[in-house]
Amino acid sequence: MYRLGVLISGRGSNFHSILKSVNSGFITNAEIVVVISNKEDAKGLNIAKENRIDAVFINPKDLSRQDYDKIVADTLIKYRVDFVILAGFMRILSSEFIKTFENRIVNIHPALLPSFRGLHAQRQALEKGVKFSGATVHFVTNELDDGPIVVQSVVPVMDNDTEDSLSKRILKTEHRIYPLAVKLITENRIKIEKNRVICDTEGLDDEFYALNPKEFGR
């Protein structure tokens, strides 16, 4: 059973969707052992506490990025975490942290990467006038919002969309693809070859094929 550490900065709805998938048995081979936030008032910390998961606020005040990340890494190591799940964690990680958990950090981004990296991805999509956007779960490398892609979802952008309405549409799909990505990774179905994630789909059911239709040849 793999041990997951989740890093958040706010609402924690992606963390919650993964937790629900662990509890429902959709994620079969992992448990969430700790949730860490850089914001004391992050709502996600309450969700953790309500579910009897250790919730840790680590204050970044007066700390360099390296020192802060070292404390976070030491905490994750103390909890014997196998995978680090970034779920709305709004800090850039140091290269030391990324090296410590090489190929074991995943992130979700509210756009179809490599488009619209960085902050306000939904606003960037509206400003560019794209007709489709979506969400991406990817392994974390030293490049911001880069790294091998595990799962993506696509949503249409409507003429009357606001940043808020588009964000809501994307978030709904985030709550489907993040648990799916965590399931695939923790069932050891994933291989990284150069920059590509190759997935063993043997025995996967409708949830997987809803996102990766069979007619596309998977």
What's the helix, strand, coil split of the chain in %, to 5?
A: 35, 25, 40
**CA–CA distance, 95 with 142 (Å, rounded to integer):** 6
Residues 6+ apart with CB under 8 A from 124: 111, 115, 116, 118
Residues 6+ apart with CB under 8 A from 176: 17, 153, 207, 211
Which stretch, 75-83, 102-110, 151-159, 190-198, contacts ligand GAR (CB under 6 A)?
A: 102-110
Binding mask 25-54 for ligand GAR (x = CB under 6 A): -------------------x----------
Which residue shows structure tokens 């902050």? 119
Establish if 87 lies at the interface with ligand GAR (CB under 6 A): yes
Residue closer to ligand GAR by CB (options 80, 128) is 128
Establish if 14 lies at the interface with ligand GAR (CB under 6 A): yes
Establish if 11 lies at the interface with ligand GAR (CB under 6 A): yes
- Main-chain phi, psi angles of 65, to 5 degrees: -55, -45
Residue 16: active-site member: no
Among residues 6, 69, 88, 150, the one that binds ligand GAR under rule CB under 6 A: 88
Residues near ligand GAR (CB under 6 A) are: 8, 10-14, 44, 87-88, 108-110, 121, 171, 174
